[in-house]
Amino acid sequence: MKTKFKILLAEDDPNLGALLSDFLEAEGFDVKLCKDGLIASQALSEASFDLFYWT
């Protein structure tokens, strides 16, 4: 089974966050969206990710 790459996406603009995660999910990634750095760092401590992207 092909494993999905996991991406943690931190983006404060709700539309951009939703669109980016939709886009990336369509590309076959597993995306976790966080709306600020605090939530993102919490998510980072709870699970492991292959890529952490923030703007």
Partner 1 sequence: MEITRTNLYILISSLALCIVLIIQVNWLIETAKIKEALFNEKANIVLARTSDALAADTATCQKMEAGVGAEEIHKIDSLFKYYMKFYDFTMQYSLEVMEKKPFSQSNTYNFNPYPNEPACFAHNLEDVVRRNGWELKLLLPEKKQFIYEEMGPMFLTSIILLLIVLLLFWKTLKSLISEKKLSEHTNDFLNNMTHEFKTPITNIALAGKIMMKEDFVNQKEKVRHYSEIILEENDKLRLQVEQVLSLAALERGEIPIHKTELDMHQIISDAIKSLKIQIEDKEGIIQMQLDARKVRLKGDKTHLTHAICNLIDNALKYSNGCPNIHLQTSNHEHNIVITISDLGIGIEKEFQKKVFDKYFRVPTGNVHNVQGFGLGLAYIKKIIELHGGTIALQSEKNNGSKFIITLKTDENEV
**Contact footprint for partner 1 (CB under 8 A):** 12-13, 15-16, 18-20, 22-23, 26
Using DSSP's 3-state secondary structure scheme, residue 10 falls into strand
Which is nearer to partner 1, 20 or 34 (by Cβ)? 20
Query: Whose CA is closest to 25, among 2, 40, 7?
Result: 7
E-state strands within the chain: 6-10, 30-34, 51-54
Which is nearer to partner 1, 16 or 51 (by Cβ)? 16
Which is nearer to partner 1, 26 or 47 (by Cβ)? 26
Tell me the closest approach of the beta carbon of residue 21 to partner 1, in angstroms: 10
